[in-house]
Structure 1
Amino acid sequence: MGTAIITFLEDESFKTQCFKYKFSDDSVLCGQLFGKVLYDYLSSKNIEITKMVLLGMANSNFEMLVDIFPEEYRENYLKFLDKVRDYDIKEKKRIMEKLVAKLKEFLNYDVELIIIDSTDNFSRLQKEIGKAVMKSVAHGINRVYLDITHGIRFIPFLALGILLPARYVEIEKISIFYGYRESHNDLKPALELNGLEEMISFDENMAIFKFSGDFYKPASKIFKQKADKIRKAYVSFELNNVDIDLFKEISQIGQDLYFFRPIRNELYKVAKCNYLDEIYMEKAEFYFEREQYFKAIPLVFEAILVVTIRKFFGKKNFSQSYKEKAKRFVNKILDKPDSQVFITLWRLRNAIVHGPEKSNGKGSSLIKKFEDEEKLKILFSQAKDIYEKIKNYEENFLFNLKTAV
């Protein structure tokens, strides 16, 4: 895999000038194209750059590219620019991209110039930029340094926007740099925007919580000193052995913190549970809300069994033998429609936990039936109703109670 620098070209109004840039380790390097300055800096740190992508418009200032030419060719390059300055857009694009491609013969890295036609059709422009960026990193690139120093208007934001989902394919890390040439100091700060990178990483963790329910990742970033306790709480949650006191403790911290608010709300729901079946039910709804229906179904099934043992057997022993008794008992006390729902729930739970009903995986109607997401939602809602009826049982709901007992 390789490493790429993506940099941009200013428009023709930009006056080329060599700036001295100072990096965080006090290294000082000079250049007018910050992308090349960044290349030299990273190379000095033994970071091998395999590709430089130069993204410009038809009206870009191509004099900036002089930095990437070997010194003996720079004067000829500037003379060449004078000749092509008045060419039409398509011809200039063809010649410039071909010329830069020839540079590969003289450099230790691949270089690609991508010129996007200037256009007032911003919808088309956005698509073209997205395609250009993805094409440049689509093969063999897993590390990107994005130099936004010379970016025109919104183009760097579009480039970053298309790179972010690429992190879920091959790109493992994106570092963002800005050459702060507007500084009044002679040495212009070369800034790595770590804060932005950290927020991108935090966004990933919040997304993991929202869609998978893993609250450890974002919460441990917010409260680093309590990471061990948060980890313990998360493991107890996943293993259905919730430490209620620990959940109460964690749910009380950071009450005014914006990003912790959705996590705290979920922890508080669990913390106020008094019984194991209530914890199962909260977990089931927790996953159901995240559209993880095949996690929610086994949990609501367990909640029904455990509340049955608690309410009718008067036991705190939730062993497998009591659960087997509860399955048969529930099926007897429910009316026919609810009984059919419970049997379907039971079958689906078994398929999720134990595998297909037949060894060849065929012959089951479950797959065909529950390919429809809406039917999963309906089943969960019906199962939740059964749980509530047993939890708050009345004879008119459980009319077979006497005969079952």
Structure 2
Amino acid sequence: MPTPYRFAGEGPHAVKNATFFGVALFQHLAEQGRPPDLLLVGTEGSSWDYLEDFFVSLNLDPPPGWDPAFRRLEEEVEEGRVSQETLDQVLGHLGKSLGVQVAGLVLPNPPTPEEVHQRFLDRLQALYGQQGVKELHLDITHGYRYLGFVLLADALVLRHIWGARIFLHYGGLELRQQEAPVVDLGLVEGLMTLDEGLSVLKAVGDFRPYYSWTAGLAEEAERAYLVVETNQQQEVARLLEPLRAARPPLSHPLVHDWVVGVLEGFSGASFEEKLLNRSEFFWNRGQYFKAILLLFEALLVAGVKRFLPGQDPLNYEHRMEAREKLLEKLATLGGAAQEDYDLLRRVRNAIAHGTRPQGADAQRAVQSLEELEKLYRRGRDLFHRIREVHP
């Protein structure tokens, strides 16, 4: 018995009558542009005989060779043991009638999630290789409930490999009154985009995807990110402020408050605190190159303010002067201040320029994460010692 599926829109063209929702979806997508290729995923026990609905609902004549192949498929459906070979023959005929590539994947009944994952990606690789496709439309109406979740998770991976957009479609059979509404799951794609933006932000500190993909603030985010990455600390607070207040539509306050907290790591009450906060942000993410360089710069700025009063910490010459004099001045702090600064300076130079570290202690620091972490913590402590008595 055909079901009238109503897609978004009004009028008779918004309703597609089909026994199998996949047929209605194919017709709907075909009317939006080029008819899509099909990959039909099911199990040995799935109702593959519903494939005949493509001819019934679309008013197509079966091609030569269809009848014997389909009769063999019906026999296997009745026995609950549909083979990949039989399905491939039937789908070859169907593809000729539809004018698109039609492929199938027969899974064990029931399939394990691992089997779904591996064999689905194997099939897509065999069909499209590394080039892939630009859009993936997933019909999650039919099959085992967990099947759609695994296919969606695989599609998320393909967003990175192929750059494919993902569209989810659900024919609301249980919502049917006179018609079954096709549930709009565009929200899910938006949430996937939000998740990807948050992942980039958390991993590398790049907030541009979060704001440009989900809030339409690409230009504002680009300007702010440029001053952060080029270390124009005098501009950071001003350009980050509009972003703190601009919450993307799908970003709940629970999420956006976390983002604002991350942005705080790029700011600070003073220039040197901004540098240290960013250093710690990158250190916690394993970006040691940025972390060490920013920590050393924070020490220099703090040193200018304490040991060269009246000098401009943003002035290159003054900071170079501090770099030359700081080792001597640190003797007034006592303890291992001079040794810690000298070691950090030598390690910083090696990391910044890719040169051989000067001294066995610097060599150990760049070859051992444990030793590098000890040095980082000592450098951070030295920063606070330098600023302790500064007015």
Aligned residue number for residue 46 of structure 2? 60
Residue correspondence of structure 1 range 2-401 to structure 2 within 5 A: 17-26=1-10, 27=13, 28-49=15-36, 51-68=37-54, 71-72=61-62, 79-85=71-77, 87=79, 89=81, 92-103=82-93, 104-119=95-110, 125-138=112-125, 139=129, 140-142=131-133, 143-219=135-211, 232-242=223-233, 243=235, 244=237, 247=240, 251=244, 257-268=253-264, 273-314=268-309, 315-332=311-328, 333=330, 338-353=337-352, 355-357=353-355, 370=366, 372-392=368-388
Whether contact under 8 Å (2:73, 2:86) holds in the other structure is no
- Alignment partner of 1:200: what SS? helix
Q: Give the superposition deviation at 1:336.
A: 8.7
TM-score by length of 1: 0.77
Cα–Cα, structure 1 residues 269 and 145, in superposed 2: closer, same or farther, change >3 Å? closer
Gaps of 5+ in 1: 1-16, 395-405
Gaps of 5+ in 2: none
Whether contact under 8 Å (1:21, 1:29) holds in the other structure is yes
Whose helix proportion is higher, 1 or 2? 2
- Alignment partner of 1:168: what SS? helix
Cα–Cα, structure 1 residues 64 and 85, in superposed 2: closer, same or farther, change >3 Å? closer
Distance 2:209 2:78 in 1: 56
Cα–Cα, structure 1 residues 232 and 81, in superposed 2: closer, same or farther, change >3 Å? closer
Larger deviation: 319-328 or 278-287? 319-328
Cα–Cα, structure 1 residues 110 and 270, in superposed 2: closer, same or farther, change >3 Å? closer
Paired residue type of 1:274: A
Distance 1:126 1:87 in 2: 24
Percent of residue pairs identical: 22
Distance 1:323 1:214 in 2: 28
Whether contact under 8 Å (2:171, 2:181) holds in the other structure is yes
Paired residue type of 1:100: V
Whether contact under 8 Å (1:219, 1:263) holds in the other structure is no
Distance 1:356 1:76 in 2: 70
Cα–Cα, structure 1 residues 367 and 39, in superposed 2: closer, same or farther, change >3 Å? farther
Give the structure, 1 or 2, with the largest relative contact order (CA under 8 Å, sep 6 or more). 1
Q: Give the superposition deviation at 1:191.
A: 3.4
Cα–Cα, structure 1 residues 393 and 146, in superposed 2: closer, same or farther, change >3 Å? same
Q: Give the superposition deviation at 1:391.
A: 1.7
TM-score by length of 2: 0.80
Q: How many residues align?
A: 365
- Alignment partner of 1:71: what SS? coil
Distance 1:366 1:93 in 2: 64
Q: Give the superposition deviation at 1:323.
A: 2.1
Distance 1:208 1:54 in 2: 33
Distance 1:29 1:370 in 2: 65
Cα–Cα, structure 1 residues 183 and 249, in superposed 2: closer, same or farther, change >3 Å? closer
Cα–Cα, structure 1 residues 97 and 276, in superposed 2: closer, same or farther, change >3 Å? same
Distance 1:366 1:106 in 2: 71
